[in-house]
Amino acid sequence: MSRVVIVSNRVAVPKGAATAGGLAVALLGAMREAGGLWFGWGGETHPADTPQPPPDPQLRDGHTFVTISIPAALHEPYYDGFANGTLWPLFHYFVDNFRYQDEHYDAYLAVNALFARELSPLLAPDDLIWVHDYHLIPLAARLRAQGVRTPIGFFLHIPFPTFEVLRALPVHREILDALLAYDLLGFQTETDRQAFLGAARAVYGADRVSAGTVVRTAERLVRTGVYPVGVDLEATARSAAKTVASGHVRDMTKGLVGRRLIIGVDRLDYSKGLLERFDAYQQFLEECPQHRGKVTYLQIAPLGRQNVKAYARMRRALEQSAGSTNGRFAEVDWTPIRYLNRSFSHATLLGFLRLAQVCLVTPLRDGMNLVAKEFIAAQDPANPGVLVLSDRAGAANEMTDALIVNPYDRRGIARALKQALDMPLDERRARHAKLLAALRENDIHAWRSRFVANLGGAPEQARLEYAAR
């Protein structure tokens, strides 16, 4: 069996008995099945005028984790600049937030070239290389230039935009060329895959794209696939049931004073629809006075990417919105919104999700959204809560028994909140059972095993699919 080599911007090195998040658990599982190596940035930078430090290998439970340092002068334009200031907003359809600078793109290429130089000596001829996310799109091309011929797959965790949006990027052709250096391209939804194939047709011509899933280049046939990321349902349920008795969750239970809990858990990001969600909650309080004083909305939004100005502006706007709602509706013993810009352990978050009667997941655009899936897995099947889910999250394709909403429609979200809180137990149980059944079909183990299996057979399968077009 071939070794699986995982490459990502950051490496999730296991630390003692700490529990990793869902994706890290899945990738660690791929390494356990076939042996493996996880390669990426370790969080350190070094002065550009000093030699590149050697890779730092660490052995954990028989698996190898290798981290590298990035030159300090490259990290900001690579990460905050091109990856999160250019690709992230564009791929999420936020063209107004999109900025492009040649210097940022040059740094992006330089960091990918560094990854390739440091990784290629560690590879064996029969390895399967699995590259993750938009930070490392050019990596396969750089590895090919280093002489690597083993199968290389790429999985995009965020959406892929339509060509009319993608073409705003001055180097969109170069990005597409880089993607076609992979043997297998994985997307979260069929919409994302079709957006990529549409871009390939527009740039290279329809004759280069099969009627099914394959794009032809001079060097290879590139197979595409849809692999919706899932969660470990059993592990999530166990952790949530255990953590609900922990200190943080007990304190939250006491603080609710018998009120029902509406929860949102999102990284602070303009793609998550938080401002629209806060407005919708205010609309709910306006239209449903019978629920005032009887529910509490907890929004957990850990800070991230604060070097990007758009995030700092959004944080201020959210604080003002929460303050406005609380100032208008709060009572001596009731705060309508609890808005926390802090991180909790993954286990604690699962405990909060189990405690909640309603989960608001209303991104303006999202590749998948695992919080939606974790909420369903964390709930008590005997008395489950209700998921309110954006139709622009990838998860909505599978989770059709959630209350699906337009994230821009604050009145629609307000009505969904009322419907969720008023929903009878029998309907909640029926919806929850159907959602669990849907999630079992694409749980985290199925996602991992399908991608790895398809990567191993990608070149031959691509030839068969292209010949059958």
Active site residues: 157, 366
Query: ∠ CA 40-45-51 to the nearest 5 degrees?
Result: 95
- Cα separation of 278 and 299, whole Å? 9
- Cα separation of 173 and 203, whole Å? 7
Burial of 40 (C-beta count, 10 Å sphere; 0-12/13-18/19+): buried
- What is the layout of strands, in order, in the sheet containing 337-340? 337-340, 295-300, 260-265, 358-361, 386-390, 403-405
- Cα separation of 56 and 321, whole Å? 45
How many helices, marked H, and strands, marked E, lie in the chain?
Answer: 18, 15
User: CB under 8 Å to 226, separation ≥6 — which residues?
Assistant: 186, 187, 188, 189, 190, 192, 193
The packing angle between helices 172-179 and 190-204, to 10°, is 110
Q: What is the DSSP string of 301-312?
A: -----TTSHHHH
- Cα separation of 169 and 411, whole Å? 35
User: CB under 8 Å to 277, separation ≥6 — which residues?
Assistant: 264, 299, 360, 362, 407, 413
> Computed over its alpha carbons, how large is the radius of gyration of the chain?
23
